Amino acid sequence: MANEITSFLLMSAVVACFLFGFLGAFLPLLPGALLVWLGILIHKIALGQQSVSWTFFWTATACVGATYGIDALCTIWGARAFGATWRGMVGAMLGLLIGPFLLSPLLGIGIGLGMILGPLFGAVLFEIIGGKDLRGASKAGFGALIGGFFAFFVKIAIIVSIIVAFFMQVGHSTLPGLN
């Protein structure tokens, strides 16, 4: 009985990490992929060899690490695909970094808005400073926005893939009540 309770509490913690990790893809205040990784780490520490393989653990770790570079790469890619110069790409990156802080006082939605609008306005501003007209600068800003949305969907796909792969690897052997 005590073993089943411990197993239930362990899986509850893991599932909570996965749930909040998934929500973190939508809510910038939560470190989405990192919470998913924390759930895997808790499971691995608690169950050792009965948990996921080390290969899975390190692959998931690499995927989680990649999610943090995806925002930057996709934002730059999007801006460049829509005609941004190096100035527009720098502006988009600075907007991605500074935007959430500038808009964070907007209680809950500010950080998310900053991550969306920061690259757009950063690219536009830096392109205008670099001598582009408003139309060309706006195209670069729109590209940065498209790149950011693409990054959002890629991060969701990575998070969901890690969670699904986790449950496929552990199977039902570590799920309480299914042994």
**Distance of alpha carbon 26 from alpha carbon 71, whole angstroms:** 13
Spatial contact of 169 and 95, defined as CB atoms under 8 Å apart: no
* pTM reported for the whole predicted model: 0.82
The structure tokens 């199977």 sit at 171
Split at pLDDT 50, 70, 90, the class of 17 is very high
Selected residue with higher pLDDT from 42 and 25: 42
**Distance of alpha carbon 107 from alpha carbon 50, whole angstroms:** 43
Split at pLDDT 50, 70, 90, the class of 14 is very high
**Distance of alpha carbon 161 from alpha carbon 32, whole angstroms:** 13
- What mean pLDDT do residues 66-95 have? 93
